Structures are given as C-alpha cells and as structure tokens.
Amino acid sequence: MYLTEIKFIQEYFKLKKLFSKLKHYSNILKIYFGLKLYEFILRYPNVNKYKLIEIAELNKDFFAIKVLEKIFERPSYKELVEYIIESENIKLDGNGVPYVEKKTVLPRPVAWTIVGFIFNSNVVEKYIDYLKLCIKISGIKEFLEGKLEKVEILEPRKSLSYILYSFLTGKNVLYKQVLLKELLKARFILYCKFAEETGRKPYSFSTILSENYLKRIVNLAYLSLRERFTITPAVALSEDLILSKNVSFTVVYGSLKRGFINALWDLARDVHEYDIFSKSNIVFSACHWKKLALLEDKILLAEGFVGEGDKVVYGSLKYLPEVKCVFFLNFPYGKEISLHKHLSEIFSQRDIIQVNPYFSSKIADSKYLTNIVLKKAKINIPAQLRLLRGLNLSYCIEQIKAFSRELGASILVVKPEHGTEGIQAEALELSNERKLMQCLQRILQSDNAVVEELRGNIGYLGYPTVFRVVVSWNGEDFECEGGYAIVSPAKREYIASVSHGGRIVDINTALKNLYTYSELKQVNVNSEILVSSSKRAAKVLNTGFSEEDYLKYMGIDLVLEQRSKEIEAVVIEVNARPSGLSFLKKIDSGEVNVIKNLLKYLKRFE
C-alpha cells in the first residue's frame, strides 16, 4: 500500500469518527466530509482513484463512493457542494448554509470550513453578515474576541498577502508552528477587516482557505523574522572577508524578503557547480545596493555575500573588490523601476557590464511596450488596450466596452502597465461595471492601466496556470535556463499568481498533467512549444540592441491554449527582474538550474 493511501485512510477514519459523534449534524457534516476529501485529493493529485473507492466500498460507505466519483471529475468547490446538497436532499437556511437546528455545539473547524467553501464568494457583504451571525456559535465568539492584537489595515492598495505577512512579522515569533497558529486564528478577521475597509473583495474566498497559500505567507514571515536575529543556516558569518581573487559578478538587491536569501544560495551553488565542471574561476557575490562603495570611476563591494566553494559567507570585505558585472534583482515593491533606473545609470557611467540594464529592461517593465514589440514580430500575445493615467473613468469604461465588443469577450484582464507578480491585476466580467470602475480607479491613481483579452484554456489539472520560463544569454544565443508553473487556487480565479493565492508547481509535473479548463480533457503538450516561444520572445525584445545593452536574463510568462486542434503558447508578459528563482528546473530533465546558461557569458569576467 502506498503512503498516500495510508494517509487517506487516516484522514477518512478521522472524518468518520467526527461524523459518528455528531449525527445530529449529518447535513452540514456531509458537506464538510466531501470538502475535506477533495482537499486531500488536491494535495495528492496523482493518488489512485480506484484504490480510494475500494477503501470506501470495504466500509460500505456509499456516500463516500458517490462523492469520490464526483471529486475525480474536478468540480469547483461550489459545484461539489451543490452536488451533495442535491443528491442528499439537504435543506438550506436563509443564509444558503445547510440547516442545523442546534448551532450552539457546532465544531468551530466545521463552521469555518462550511462558511468558507459554501459562501457566495462574489458578495463580501453576505460574508460579513454571516461572520457576525457566527458569534452565536460556541467557540466562535472567543475566536473573534480572543487575545488578538489590534490589526492596523494599511493602504487600501496593499494586497491581502501583504496584510497577513505584516501581521505575522509584527509578532516577533521564531517558530513556524506558532506563526501558523497565529495566522489560522486571525485569518478570517484580517480578511473581513481588509475587505470591509477597502470596500472590495480582492480575491476569491478560497485564497484564505488555501493551505499552500497560508504556508507560503508563514515561510516568508519566518524568513523575515530570522533576518532580524541571524542569517539563514546556509550562510556563514564572518567579520572580515578576505578574498583570494576578485569577484566576477555581483547580484545587487534591495531586499532579502520573499525568500530571496534562498535564491542567492541557489545562484552561488550554480556558480560552484559550473566552476567544477567547466574548470572556471567565477566568483559569486551579492550585496544590498546601499553596501556598494563609489571610488572615482570604480564601484566597490564593501559588505555582502560571497561564494566560497559550496558555502556562502556574509560579512564586510577587508580589501574592497571591484564590481565587474552586475545583476539587479529583488527590489522593494513600488520602487523596482525607479531604483533599477537609478542604479543602472550609475553603473553605465562607469562602463560596468549589466546582466539586465535599465535601457532594455524598460521595455519588459512596460506591458504595453512589450505587447507592441512582440506583436510587430507576430508573436502570439493577447489583444490589448492601454488607458492612460488621468483619463475620465466613464470614458475608460466606454473604451473597454468597445474593446470587449470587438473581441466578443465577456471577461477581460485589467492590470497596471508597470505592475509585477499579478499585484492589482483582476479578471473581471464586463457585466459588473461597479467592480470594473473600482479596479480602474485604484490602478489609475498611480499608473496607466492595460486591458487584455483573457487567454489560455489549458492548465495543470484543469486550473488556470501560468508558466514562468527563464531565458538567458550565453554569449552566443538565448537559451532556456528552466521554469516553473503557477497554478490558480480556483478554476474561476483566472489570475494565476502567488499574490492571488496561487501555488508553485514543478514545471515538468505540470506539463504531464494538463487538462482543458472546460471539458477537463487531458491533453499532451510538447514542452518545446514553451521553450521556442520564450526564446523567440527574448530575441525579439533584444533586436536592435548591442550585446552590452541586451536584457540578458528574463522571466517570460506564458499560458497554453488550444484552438481547433492546435495547441499554442501565448506570451502574457516579460519580467526583467524575475522572482521565484529557487523554483527553477530544467524543462524535461528536471535538473535544478538558475543561471548555468548565463554563466557561459559571465565566464568572460572571471
């Protein structure tokens, strides 16, 4: 028996035990039971369907058999709930929740799971009303009015992820389990207050229930908290670093948050492996931009990370080495472009080689310019409408309606022209004019907006999926380093990004489990479609530039789409300072790979 089947049996009997204890609540527990089974199968997508049904058959559990059959059709949470309600003839109360006569002893985890999964995710006011109603349930009042510290809601434009992250980093707790408990205790209140005070519901409700999403927030907070006290275990500390040779290239960053310290370790590891196999002497270094020293026509490294064999050491450098080649990564949100431009100009004035100079990065930073350049080269991209900051909102709405009629589309993607990682991006139905107006108003306060047709109809297990493919320059050509997939938490959450609760999946796993969104029909896709489209986009974006000005490392976001019988890749956007580098794996081979292709170019500066 496989480990996943043993885990299923444990989960199954735990639910059966709860069911037998609370027979009076069989209506609501049937839904809870079905949803928890679905959660398990989403966590282990490759589990054998027939083995699980066999376990249910051995226990003569006809309800579980029926639910498992439905689950393997990959319905949405709401569709599964509606199926159970209809097949079991369950009555609903005025709030659309299964009718329970005695709510006073309803177990708190059951109550919150039901609220989260069943609730109409499009109407936040209903959720707030039901949240208040839940105070009547035993245990919920303590949950809401417990020892929770006051939550300060920051700027309305901040993301839900940022609010949860800020709450945790204010705790000064250095244990992941405690952080997770704090987040589980506070997540509904934070969500409710954020939605109430900003007047909008930023993401589908399933985000706040996503185990992967919450764990990611906890991991990011944990890394940030650790940085206040010590360096990650993969990094050694040294008061004075004395290098036996000069550094070859330097990663200049603006923040170690969002797990970036792990990316630095992966970069250093790639350099170490490459040095061994190619007999090179490339020396890796990284520092915060404020730790650079200017000396006439030189830029020196005063303090930072240095690769020493298979280790990474952090400290002050006794003899300040000269920076020969620079790679800009991980600047704070909202300052990425301005800081990149400022630093790039300083390095350009001193003729220092840049992996991602601002001169060429500014095309990738603008979704509008990227779209125009790729369109001229006849690369497959979404149709796009640009709305300039300062335009009248009513005029913008009319332009969008005309654009929608031209495309024959009822759902469009609205996002900032210069945004990153899906922040402030929303896929909106044109019928909801109020929500469209609110979205435009937020974006146009600080940026231009771009409106795009919604592309892509093939994803991992039928969920909306974006493929991030990193392409780099090796001195002769643009080649693929690796990639990963970002999978949406819900089938109708079309913005697949971590900021919207998406989870990162191994790119090769994703490519082996592709299904159409609507029919859930499995499709086979040649990975070369993604690779060739990404390489071609990289070449087009650098056309007309000298090698010195090339954008030599970029993350290209693509979706897969089936039209007629052909499957094609659609380039959504390009990132000049890509994140998530620790998740990169070579397509097909699965080898962990971050910059080994780029190192062939960087070898010149060893």
Is the pLDDT reported for residue 144 higher than 50? no
What does the alpha-carbon distance between residue 603 and residue 421 come to, in Å, rounded to a whole number? Answer: 31
Higher pLDDT, 250 or 22: 250
CA–CA separation, 566 and 560 (whole Å): 11
Bigger pLDDT: 570 vs 266: 570
CA-based nearest residue to 529, from 498, 506, 562: 562
C-alpha distance from residue 590 to each of 214, 263, 559 (Å): 26, 17, 20
Q: What is the pLDDT of residues 433-460, one digit of tens each?
A: 888 998 898 899 889 999 999 999 999 9
Say which DSSP state 499 is in.
G
Q: Which of 15-24, 131-140, 395-404 has the highest mean pLDDT?
A: 395-404
| % of the chain at pLDDT higher than 70 | 78
Among 86-90, 343-347, 387-391, the range scoring the smallest mean pLDDT is 86-90
User: For the segment 584-602, what is each residue's pLDDT rounded down to a tens digit?
Assistant: 999 988 888 999 999 999 9
Of 88, 472, 422, 72, the C-alpha closest to 267 is: 472
Query: Under 8 Å CB-to-CB from 132, ≥6 apart: which residues?
Result: none
User: For residues 411, 416, 418 and 424, what is the CA-based torsion angle, rounded to 10 degrees?
Assistant: -100
What would the DSSP string read from start to end of 234-302? TEEEEEEE--SS--SEEEEES--TTTHHHHHHHHHHHHHHHHHHHT----EEEEEGGGEEEETTEEEE-
What span, in angstroms and rounded, lies between the C-alpha atoms of 529 and 533? 6
Q: What are phi and psi of 245, to 5 degrees?
A: -150, 165
Question: Could you tell me which residue, 305 or 419, shows the higher pLDDT?
Answer: 305
List, edge to edge, every strand of the sheet that includes 449-453.
384-387, 449-453, 411-416, 426-429
Separation CA 187–CA 214 (nearest Å): 9
Residue spans per domain, the chain: 1-146, 157-230, 235-353, 383-453, 457-605
User: So what's the pLDDT on residue 57?
Assistant: 87
| Number of residues that make up the chain | 606
Let me know: does 447 contact 419? Beta carbons within 8 Å: yes
C-alpha 406/C-alpha 330 separation (Å) is: 38
Where residue 145 falls among pLDDT bands split at 50, 70, 90?
very low
Contacts of 22 by beta carbon, 8 Å cutoff, 6+ apart: 29, 105, 107
Taking the C-alpha atoms of residue 176 and residue 179, their distance in angstroms, rounded to an integer, is: 5
Mapping DSSP to helix (H, G, I), strand (E, B) and coil, where does residue 526 land?
A: coil
Average pLDDT of the segment spanning 339-361: 94
| 414 pLDDT higher than 90 | yes
Selection from 450, 389, 499 nearest residue 157 by Cα? 499
* Mean pLDDT of the region 211-220: 78
- pLDDT, residue 226, reads 59
| Bridge partners, 413 (sequence order) | 427, 452
In this prediction, residue 432 has a pLDDT band, given cuts at 50, 70 and 90, of: confident
Question: Would you place residue 605 in the very low, low, confident or very high pLDDT band (cuts 50, 70, 90)?
Answer: confident
The pLDDT score that the predictor gives to residue 152 is: 35
Computed from CA positions of residues 98, 101, 107, 111, in that sequence, does the dihedral angle turn out positive or negative?
positive
Res 352 pLDDT > 70? yes
The closest of 283, 254, 267 to 581, measured between CA atoms, is: 267
Question: With 70 as the cut, is the pLDDT of residue 4 above it?
Answer: yes
Report yes or no: 336 and 577 within 8 Å, Cβ to Cβ.
Answer: yes
Give the model's confidence band at 163: pLDDT under 50 very low, under 70 low, under 90 confident, else very high.
confident
Please tell us whether the domain made up of 457-605 is placed in CATH 3.30.470.
yes
Place of tokens 């026509």: 297
Determine the Cα–Cα distance for residues 115 and 123; give it in Å rounded to an integer.
13
pLDDT at position 335: 87
What's the token pair of residue 457?
Answer: 């109809």
- Spatial neighbors of 251 by CB under 8 A, at least 6 apart, are 264, 267, 284, 285, 286, 287, 326, 327, 328, 329
Q: Where are the beta strands (DSSP E) in 419-532?
A: 426-429, 449-453, 458-460, 465-473, 478-487, 503-506, 514-516
Hunting for tokens 């490392």 — which residue is that? 553
**CA separation for the pair 485, 503 (Å, rounded):** 8
pLDDT of residue 199: 55
Cβ atoms 321, 243 nearer than 8 A: yes
Higher pLDDT, 444 or 124: 444
Please give the mean pLDDT across all residues of the chain. Answer: 80
More confident residue, 232 or 310: 310
Q: Within 13 A of 194's CA, how many CA atoms are on the CB side?
A: 23
This prediction has a pTM of 0.64
Q: What is the mean pLDDT of residues 208-226?
A: 74
Q: How many CA atoms lie within 13 A of 44 on its CB side?
A: 15
CA pair distance 527, 509, nearest whole angstrom: 12
Neighbours of 108 (CB within 10 A): 14
Q: What is the DSSP letter of 153?
A: P
Chain position carrying tokens 């480990």: 3
Residue identified by tokens 């949470």 is 77
* Token duo for residue 259: 């797990």
Which of 210-214, 555-559, 565-569 has the highest mean predicted lDDT (pLDDT)? Answer: 555-559
Burial per residue of 542-575, b for 16 or more beta-carbon CB atoms within 10 angstroms, e otherwise:
beeeeeebbbbbbbbbbbbbbeeeebbbbbbbbb
Of the chain, the percentage scoring pLDDT greater than 90 comes to 37
List phi, psi (to 5°) of 37.
Answer: -65, -40
Yes or no: say if 585 and 508 are a contact pair by the CB < 8 Å rule. Answer: yes
Residue 219's pLDDT band, with cuts at 50, 70 and 90, is confident
Are 472 and 552 in contact, with CB atoms under 8 Å apart? yes
Dist. CA 472–CA 432, nearest whole Å: 41
Name the CATH superfamily for 383-453.
Answer: ATP-grasp fold, A domain (3.30.1490.20)
Of 109-118, 312-321, 418-427, 470-479, the one with minimum mean pLDDT is: 109-118
pLDDT over threshold 70, residue 134:
no
What angle, rounded to 10 degrees, do the helices at 358-365 and 528-541 form? 120
CATH 3.40.1130 for the 235-353 domain, yes or no: no
pLDDT of 234: 45
Pairing relation of β-strands 458-460 and 384-387? unpaired
